[in-house]
Amino acid sequence: MKTIKGPAVFLAQFIGNEAPFDSLEGMCSWASGLGFKGIQMPTLDNRFIDLKLAAESQTYADELVGKVRAAGLEITELSTHLQGQLVAVHPAYDQLFDGFAPEALRGNPAARQQWAVQQLTYAAKASRRLGLSAHVTFSGALLWPYVYPWPQRPAGLVEEGFSELGRRWLPILDEFENEGIDLCYELHAGEDLHDGISYERFLTEVNDHPRACLLYDPSHYVLQCLDYLEHLDIYHERIKMFHVKDAEFNPSGRQGVYGGYQSWLERAGRFRSLGDGQVDFKAVFSKMAQYNFPGWAVLEWECALKHPEDGAREGAQFIKDHIIRVTDRTFDDFAASGIDKTLNKTLLGL
């Protein structure tokens, strides 16, 4: 068995325009001071990483690793959530998602998609140069406006949508295979890959590609009323990344999963800081240890109530307290009677 690495923190929700959150050195010092051992890095802010340069220059990649190590940290993984979203965008969301792309590409969906694919290619190469083994992204969505079958979906619509999604992602997955990096999809509302069934549909379209892996985040499953522990039992062989994020779902006679278009603060399902929600993390970390999860436990902070700095400070200790240092011996070894093949055969009547 393996002991999970951590705690680490995903920087995206903490980046800002004031120190220490406006530079890589500043955020590394801040994270290290809270007890984190690693950082997961978004890739659209050049103050933290020039993704293209990291893909093309080993010298730059080594310098980046050196800056992080100087603070006593490691880079755990890179993230292209926003770029991955742009690999597949339904026209209904064109204007909203244009904000994720460079200004020159806005209003041009085809060019925006080409840019997104190039970003994923850079991410695969940069991950290899940085000595990483996994990468996280979103799948994007062509079918999300049709997630609820009303009006009745025309025959073949879902099949066509997943066929196209697979066609777009297969060459990207091949790039990650070439670089030796697992591409982990975060199953998330708003994405065509949002639960186990949709992920399985996608796997069929990409020929069960060995690099089409998963990031496990139980908070999204709480909000879907999906069994997040059985999900680990089913997909543990494909799970290569782990976001430690909490959530709660408190339905009432007035609202349920859809939330009535309310803000995060008022929704029945909402994300919470670690320990303030309903996820059974003792069971989650136990299953991670049982299944030899190979990666990092990474805090992703999203909470409508608690200040982010408090969430980060408490989250570092929360993860540290939940990581199971796995045993190197069986608890009943003291009572072992020794190995004796002759005795074994005698006991079996052979």
Q: Which parts of 14-108 fold into alpha helices (H)?
A: 24-33, 51-56, 58-70, 81-85, 94-97
108-134: pLDDT as tens digits? 999 999 999 999 999 999 999 999 999
CB 196 within 8 A of CB 254: no
In this predicted structure, what is the pLDDT of residue 333?
A: 74
In this predicted structure, what is the pLDDT of residue 336?
A: 74
CB 202 within 8 A of CB 139: yes
What one-character DSSP code corresponds to residue 92? G
Rounded CA gap, 226 and 229, in Å?
9
Sequence-ordered list of residues with C-beta below 8 angstroms from that of 38, at least 6 positions apart, any chain: 5, 6, 7, 8, 9, 73, 74, 75, 76, 296, 298
122 vs 72, 86, 212, CA distance in Å? Answer: 26, 15, 17
Which stretches of the chain drop beneath a pLDDT of 70? 335
Domain that holds residue 308: 5-347
Split into its structural domains, the chain has a count of 1
What one-character DSSP code corresponds to residue 13? G
| CATH number assigned to the domain comprising residue 204 | 3.20.20.150
In this predicted structure, what is the pLDDT of residue 332?
A: 75
259 vs 245, 255, 271, 291, 299, CA distance in Å? Answer: 20, 6, 13, 35, 25
Sequence-ordered list of residues with C-beta below 8 angstroms from that of 14, at least 6 positions apart, any chain: 21, 27, 301, 308, 312
In this predicted structure, what is the pLDDT of residue 334?
A: 72
Phi, psi of 155 (to 5 degrees): -55, 135
In this predicted structure, what is the pLDDT of residue 329?
A: 80
In this predicted structure, what is the pLDDT of residue 212?
A: 99
